[in-house]
Structure formats: structure tokens, C-alpha cells
Amino acid sequence: EHRKGLPLLGHCCVHTRVGCSTYTRTSVVSPPGSSSLGCTATFRSSPAMEALRIAACLCSFVSLLLLIIALASDHWITGSDGSYAGLWNACRIICINYGMDAQDYIHATRFFLFIEMFAGAVSFFGLCASFSRTHLGSMSTKGIAVTASLVAGACSLIAMATFTGVYNERNILENSFGWSFGLGWVSFPLFLIAGGLAYMTASTSTS
């Protein structure tokens, strides 16, 4: 029904069942010039799918937290004399900051870890957003999370492999890898697991 040339505002609901998940889609018809989005969608997922999504969020959050701790701490290398060093400082009695005077492999490790941190943050917030919406603009929230998780995992592998390989070539027998180094490596598989779980929820919802 039309009155005075303007479409009548209204809505319609469509219920579909996909696999074990029941989806409810609500479409809203808005008048020309309205700032409202023309369509919104909400859905109820199966408990198994929700569990996968929660697990993906936890993996993404934990890996991002471990990465930040590893990046900020100074126990990448420890010496038998009580000294320790990281990506920013070398410490014994006092700490000396490298600044931009660090060696090339330190710069490379920093660079890829910062990219990993950014991608990991995108992954985590994309997974959180997937609880309330399916898309951000034209992009799927789950697709964003999957891609960002895999990018974070790849950057983690490059950064940690670079640091490990170069340091092993120059290793002094009295030195060993510290707990910060271990946290950096742990973030790598966790991001891959988060990406895999996010992919499973995305493929389940579209199957």
C-alpha cells in the first residue's frame, strides 16, 4: 500500500533451518533517504556451533595476550651470569635500551610481531563481532576472523623462525632461550587453532 507516493514501512520475517541451526532473518523496508540499513539479521545457532565460536575467541585472545607479553618483556635470552635480553633491552645490573640501534634480525622480528599483533587484534574483534552480526559492510565477520588469524600465524612463524635461526648461528654456550621467547612461539599455533575454529563455524553456518 502506498500513500502520498511514499512506501509503507514494514518488516517481514523468514525462518529457515540449516543443518542444526535455526536462522531468523528480519528485513526492514526503509523509505528513500533513510539512514537505516535496509536489512538486519539475527540467528540462533546450535550449542556446538556456539562452543566452537567461544573456543575460537578464547584462543585468539590468549594468543594475542601472550604475544603482547612476549613483545614487551626482556627474557628472550638468558645468561648463566644472570643477564637477560629481549627485543628492546639488554639487562644485567642495569638495562640498556637498543632503540633503533638493534641488529637487523631484531628489527625483522619486531616488524613481523607488530603485524601479527595487529592481525591478531582484528581476528579477536572479528570473532567477538560475529556473535551479534554476520557482516561488517560487505565482509563476513567470520571471514575477517579466519583471514586475520592465518595472517597472524604466518607472521608469528616468520618472526620466531628469523630470531631462532639467526641467534642459533651466533649462540654463546652460556646463553639459552628464555620464557619470553617461549611465549612468542606458543602464540603461533594458538592463532592457527583460532583460525581453524573460526573456519569451522563459518563453513557450518553456510553448509
> What's the predicted TM-score (pTM) here?
0.72
* Rg of the chain, C-alpha, whole Å: 24
d(CA 66, CA 192): 14
The pLDDT of residue 21 is above 60: no
* Tens-digit pLDDT profile for residues 105-159: 999 999 999 999 999 999 999 998 888 877 877 888 888 999 999 999 999 999 9
Q: Which of 203, 204, 157, 148 is nearest to 184 (CA)?
A: 157
* Tens-digit pLDDT profile for residues 43-59: 456 787 888 889 999 99
Surface-to-core class of residue 118, CB atoms within 10 Å of its CB (0-12 exposed, 13-18 middle, 19+ buried): middle
pLDDT at 23: 42
